[in-house]
Structure 1
């Protein structure tokens, strides 16, 4: 398994597919923190959304390293289709951790925030960046390893899901009937709503319910992907 992860990592680096998403993300963060004295929570909300978008991009590029024939050869070498999936996810998580560390510590090191960062800010930033990174990996994986959308529409479908999930509040406000159907989309706005206000935040029951829903969606979503992947590749 370690050999496969190492092989995937080297293959991804050599493919140069990581350059566009990493460049876009790096520029996004640097431009965001061009000015000093920016608010903490709302700034982290922006970089959380950025990680969501970029991780979907990175995940789809990681799953596109090899073709169908190479993939089936890897299945045989690994002795398990699940090991293939777990290995891919390991690379995705490694990329996500790098982006999260950069997102959180860059403005701190550059002294961009208008006030000193508190433990509550730090905890919220880690949670939001990590859960949205998982949402991005979920979306990217879903359209890479399942047969939900035809191959030529995978990127378009992923973009559609991302846009709808980010626009959830506005869509529900305009068309209330969409509320239940949109529960199938990653609850992005439900997660980051605690980063959209002032730098003072109250952690209460509503917050923990939002955390529970975000974690539940993630766990159930990845289980669904596992099942759909195995059905497709049987």
Structure 2
């Protein structure tokens, strides 16, 4: 498994497919903190959304570095289709951690924030960046390795899911019934709901309910994507 991850990492880096998403994310973060005295939590909310978008993009490129024949050869070498998927996810998570580190540590290093940083700020920033990164990986995987992926509309479909999940609150306000339809989309706005204001001093029961839903969705989403992938590769 380590050999596969190492091989895939080298192949991905050599393919140069990581450069566009990494460049876009880096520019996004540098522009976000181009000025000092920016609000803390709302800035982390913006960088979390950037992680979500970029990790969707990056995950799709990670799954596109080999052709079908080479992929089948890797299945044989690994003796497990599940290991192939987990190895790909490991690579995605590695880059997600790098993006998270840049998004959180860069503004701290250049002292961009308005007011002092408290542990609750750091905790919420890690929470939002981590789950939105994973949501992005799941969306990218869903439109890369399942039967729902089509070469012609893959990128457009992924962009549509990202856009709808980011616009959840606005859509529900206009048409309330959409609340019961859009629950299948990643709960991005639920994850970011406590990053709108910087006056938070403690987290209440509502936050715990939202956090539980976010974690449950992550687990269920992971299981569903894995099963759809294995069904397609039968």
**Smaller-chain TM-score bracket:** over 0.9
Give the corresponding residue for 1:117.
117
Q: Could you say which residue in structure 2 is the equivalent of 1:143?
A: 143
Query: What residue number does 1:228 align with?
Result: 228
Q: CA deviation at 1:226?
A: 1.0
CA distance in 1, matches of 2:181, 2:64: 30
Instruction: Give the Å deviation of 1:184.
Output: 0.2
CA distance in structure 2 between the partners assigned to 1:20 and 1:76 by the alignment: 32
Runs of 5+ unmatched residues, structure 1:
none
Q: Which runs of 5+ in 2 are unaligned?
A: none
CA–CA distance in structure 2, aligned partners of residues 231 and 34 of structure 1: 47
Structure 1 residues 84-95: aligned runs within 5 Å? 84-95=84-95
Q: Counterparts in 2 of 1:182-201, with a 5 A limit?
A: 182-201=182-201
> What does 1:1-234 correspond to in 2, within 5 Å?
1-234=1-234
The TM-score normalised by the length of structure 1 is: 0.99
**Matched-pair contact (CA < 8 Å) for 2:35–2:112:** yes
In the alignment, is the contact (CA less than 8 A) between 2:166 and 2:189 conserved in 1? yes
Count of aligned pairs = 234
Per-residue CA distance 1:119-148 (angstroms, 9 max, x = gap): 000000001000000000010001011011
Moved over 6 A (4+): none
Report if aligned partners of 1:40, 1:199 keep a CA contact under 8 Å in 2: no
Q: RMSD over aligned Cα, in angstroms?
A: 0.8
Q: Secondary structure at the match of 1:151?
A: coil
Equivalent pair of 2:142/2:149 in contact (CA under 8 Å): no
Q: Distance in 2 between matches of 1:134 and 1:201?
A: 27
Rounded to whole Å, the distance in 1 between the matches of 2:37 and 2:51 is 22
CA displacement 1:182-204 (0-9 Å, x = unmatched): 00000000110100113424401
Query: TM-score normalized by structure 2?
Result: 0.99
- Residue 150 of structure 1: how far off its partner (Å): 1.7
- Checking the alignment, whether the CA contact within 8 Å between 2:33 and 2:112 is kept in structure 1 is yes
